[in-house]
Structure 1
């Protein structure tokens, strides 16, 4: 990469006094005297990359953000970036799987959705408050638990997770665009259109993403309100629920956890440019309500639409022809005509914030998966991420409900174990002290923990996850008798194994 000049070795002294999450009090000198070296390789002033940077494109990769560059004090951006990306077709499509896939009644689905979304959103709400204190993206923070090399596994899973949400969102949006004039735009073409536009949003970076999401929720919310009004009385025509036992409901818990607890693995990416003095409680609440409130409402709407699909003949035919997107198209076009087509386009494009956010996150996770990619400009990584999502979304669109239920359940199991290890590391072994996450060693495999303790805890948890998991393609012997206990056992096993193994590792190494 001849366009990239030598690394800027500017070193600063950070004398930080962050606020306590619960009380808002100040902990003096929590990271006083920590030296932060900016390891970002800046482009030469005359290059094309420099011109992009001058026009607002974020070129910085996985390197920790030094204190003097953590200047974003628009803390409400945390709320808008999550709420806007959630105010789309993505949660509607996921919510429809609760009634179509799990056979829940609308009443039971709604109660479980609201409670579980807020409950499983709590880890992300806490973890995001660490990012302003450290200037580190989430996958870099994870290295202080999983180590540089074992963290590659977590990075792979998180990258697949975020990419999976991009796949789901692009399919939802594409189905709507294809339903505007059936037979003119195939779903495959609509997926490509959505992802190319999302690429432009995602590669621009942190500031542009936050600016876009500050306003993009307005047309999305308008379109969703029109959809609810158009569906109206037909939403009351619900098919009777098929789920009646505790075994049936356990799968719903793993499914809900899969789409919410996984935000703990990426939340910090959207607050790492905020100063160490950022109000932690406010940021935590912005995060929690940004991800849980719109997701709960729209998942419930999706559950209502899914529950009515086989009770309304026209919806049944539309669903068999083109999935949930076609059902939404039938609702809007039948009731509202050409205006309904316009609303359908708005709904189809509502996933741009979701998919753009996912492209953005993946472009930072790829260097954690393969460290050699640190030399590749983030813009190129964003193009690679977009191409991969398109390639996966097109075949996945053929069996959407089965794909999404299996996907969210499986990632929920891993996220439960990995997030448990990270929280134990930070809260128990590091005493919730951000100074213990020394930015000087973020890329030093020898100075970082080995990660073997976390890896062992995660692998041991899978020894019980597999017999206790229940998906569309596999159900273990425990799950067949008691329901899907994979998530619960993932958390429990990771908790009881990580503590003693990590304690032994620290004793042997003589340091964290």
Structure 2
């Protein structure tokens, strides 16, 4: 993503594409969704941005080392099937981000001269413009991105200056900000969104570095990528937060009527027709940001397997463009909700993706490590790759689901702890948490786990509560989609737990799934409905069985 020529000439490059319109709404969310005052917003952005930038910069270093795209590199840590799951997730994430981008671009075009251009037409214009450069190929992507960021960066300086002329009031949100646990929950949740928007580049970070010379110093790639991600994103997100501190009634009305696009149009309104011209350029700046999303979506589609690799990339790119443009038209009235939830989900999967790839690289793939480096010829050889196992994240707090850990962290709506839960691995390594080997389907193993938790006779320990969640190795077939053997894995494991409960009995938190029943299924985001209706039918039957066991046990 940062371009480094063999002769040593270094350039900040494509990552400055983040100095665009699509980054502004993330800063806006701090006050509109989490009521954070400007000082806490800036502190949260800087801290969580640093974490996300480090993660993305690390993944970027693997491009020159391997010469492979990011989703293919994941094969070495998560296996062929695990890498396929990553590719599916990455397709969904890139399409989601592109959807929010075209909605914002459409909003901006529609606000240039209200009433003359509909939001739908604006979205379609942006979607088509994002597609054209991707047809020309990899080299054109690099050439376009190398220079396009200059214009958008100058426009951001204009917005900072015009906003200051309107009057920033950094204390305007102080009366509305939460306190205590609720404030902590707001900061953690917004921090997860910030981390997600930064680490969201990680699954594509090596895609645009893989043609660099293999002897390019990794530290050079790391530092250039870190700085070229951290600087522009912080600069523009803090701008979004600052614009929300303007108390002029015209700005408040502009946000109410036109969301982020309306506010930006109001900022540029003193410049008249030149301001409208700048607004057009700003709307078109989304193309700069959406080209990598669209192009990497095509790469991820091809990474799904050998049959997909034979599909021409231009067709994959065209299909992605059609999908996110149609989705943008369908979700145009729910921009903030889509952006907030998508970025939170993004932080969940990028967190464990980054941790797994990092562990593989630093523990197993060093020259003196157990595997002695990367054997690049094995990238698609199933027998020479890891099996790949799925993990469950229990730290979710979304509009459509709030997990038990989040309810304990926040006052009313909980706190989004998805990516923070990855740190539990550190506690295991330090001996502050223990793993007990066993099979949840074997009652004696479950009883042994209870015994370990209760300590020894000389130092007994009372178990306060149990968080119950089970995962298994998935299998896939076209007829049954994803299945787990045995098909009643969760139900039977829960029965074994309940039948071996110690005394006094602990509180039990069971992790199930949202959207299993007809009523709750309506609240599942539209892009996830096919996953629920078709791909996960049999596993969800097992979850329903477990819920029936809980309902029966509690009377």
Report what 1:79 is aligned to.
12
Give a deviation string over 1:115-143, Cα, whole Å, max 9, x none.
Answer: 22122210211221111111000000001
Matched, 1:418 2:367: no
Match of 2:231 among 259, 270, 293: 293
Report what 2:407 is aligned to.
480
Q: 1:78 to 1:185 in 2, by over 3 A?
A: farther
Give 3-state SS (helix, strand or coil) of 2:384's partner. Answer: coil
Give a deviation string over 1:244-269, Cα, whole Å, max 9, x none.
Answer: 33222211221111111222211000
Matched, 1:406 2:336: no
Give a deviation string over 1:416-464, Cα, whole Å, max 9, x none.
Answer: 1121111111111223679732221212222222113xx2xx23xx2x3
Give 3-state SS (helix, strand or coil) of 1:422's partner. Answer: helix
Give a deviation string over 1:365-396, Cα, whole Å, max 9, x none.
Answer: 01223542211111111100101111212223
Bigger CA radius of gyration: 2
* Residue 235 (structure 1) shift: 4.4
Report what 1:27 is aligned to.
none
Give 3-state SS (helix, strand or coil) of 1:147's partner. Answer: helix
Report what 2:173 is aligned to.
239
Match of 1:444 among 376, 381, 403: 381
Report what 2:326 is aligned to.
391
* Residue 76 (structure 1) shift: 6.7
Q: Distance in 2 between matches of 1:188 and 1:146?
A: 41
* Residue 77 (structure 1) shift: 7.5
Report what 2:240 is aligned to.
302
* Residue 295 (structure 1) shift: 0.4
Q: Distance in 1 between matches of 2:8 and 2:354?
A: 24
Give 3-state SS (helix, strand or coil) of 2:309's partner. Answer: helix
Pairwise CA RMSD of aligned residues? 2.5
Query: Relative contact order (alpha carbons < 8 A, sep ≥ 6): 1 or 2 greater?
Result: 1
Q: Contact between 2:4 and 2:11, CA under 8 Å: does it hold in 1?
A: no
Q: Contact between 2:53 and 2:226, CA under 8 Å: does it hold in 1?
A: yes
Q: 1:150 to 1:170 in 2, by over 3 A?
A: same
Give 3-state SS (helix, strand or coil) of 1:352's partner. Answer: helix
* Residue 153 (structure 1) shift: 1.3
Q: 1:137 to 1:75 in 2, by over 3 A?
A: farther
Report what 2:398 is aligned to.
471
Q: Contact between 1:72 and 1:273, CA under 8 Å: does it hold in 2?
A: no
Q: Which runs of 5+ in 1 are unaligned?
A: 1-69, 502-512
Match of 2:268 among 325, 328, 332: 332
* Residue 204 (structure 1) shift: 2.3
Report what 1:184 is aligned to.
116
Report what 1:5 is aligned to.
none
Q: 1:76 to 1:259 in 2, by over 3 A?
A: farther
Match of 1:101 among 21, 24, 33: 33
* Residue 183 (structure 1) shift: 1.5
Q: Contact between 1:77 and 1:214, CA under 8 Å: does it hold in 2?
A: no
Match of 1:317 among 253, 264, 268: 253
Q: Distance in 1 between matches of 2:236 and 2:313?
A: 32
Q: Which runs of 5+ in 2 are unaligned?
A: 437-555
Q: Distance in 1 between matches of 2:189 and 2:253?
A: 28
Report what 1:165 is aligned to.
97
Bigger CA drift: 483-492 or 373-382? 483-492
Q: 1:470 to 1:75 in 2, by over 3 A?
A: farther
Q: Contact between 2:110 and 2:122, CA under 8 Å: does it hold in 1?
A: yes
Q: Contact between 2:109 and 2:279, CA under 8 Å: does it hold in 1?
A: yes
* Residue 206 (structure 1) shift: 2.3
Q: Distance in 2 between matches of 1:165 and 1:337?
A: 31
Q: Distance in 2 between matches of 1:495 and 1:166?
A: 37
Report what 2:288 is aligned to.
353
Report what 2:125 is aligned to.
193
Give 3-state SS (helix, strand or coil) of 1:424's partner. Answer: helix
* Residue 491 (structure 1) shift: 4.1
Q: Contact between 2:36 and 2:173, CA under 8 Å: does it hold in 1?
A: no
Give 3-state SS (helix, strand or coil) of 2:383's partner. Answer: coil
Q: 1:184 to 1:407 in 2, by over 3 A?
A: same
Give a deviation string over 1:67-122, Cα, whole Å, max 9, x none.
Answer: xxx99638777731111x20101110121111111111011101211222122210
Q: Contact between 1:125 and 1:285, CA under 8 Å: does it hold in 2?
A: yes
Q: Distance in 1 between matches of 2:232 and 2:397?
A: 27
Give a deviation string over 1:238-295, Cα, whole Å, max 9, x none.
Answer: 3334233322221122111111122221100010000111122221111111111100
Give 3-state SS (helix, strand or coil) of 2:13's partner. Answer: helix
Report what 1:366 is aligned to.
301
Q: Contact between 1:87 and 1:217, CA under 8 Å: does it hold in 2?
A: yes
Q: Contact between 1:105 and 1:243, CA under 8 Å: does it hold in 2?
A: no
Q: 1:415 to 1:409 in 2, by over 3 A?
A: same
Q: Contact between 1:254 and 1:409, CA under 8 Å: does it hold in 2?
A: yes
Q: Contact between 2:302 and 2:313, CA under 8 Å: does it hold in 1?
A: no
Q: Contact between 1:416 and 1:491, CA under 8 Å: does it hold in 2?
A: no
Q: Distance in 2 between matches of 1:323 and 1:248?
A: 21
Give 3-state SS (helix, strand or coil) of 1:278's partner. Answer: coil
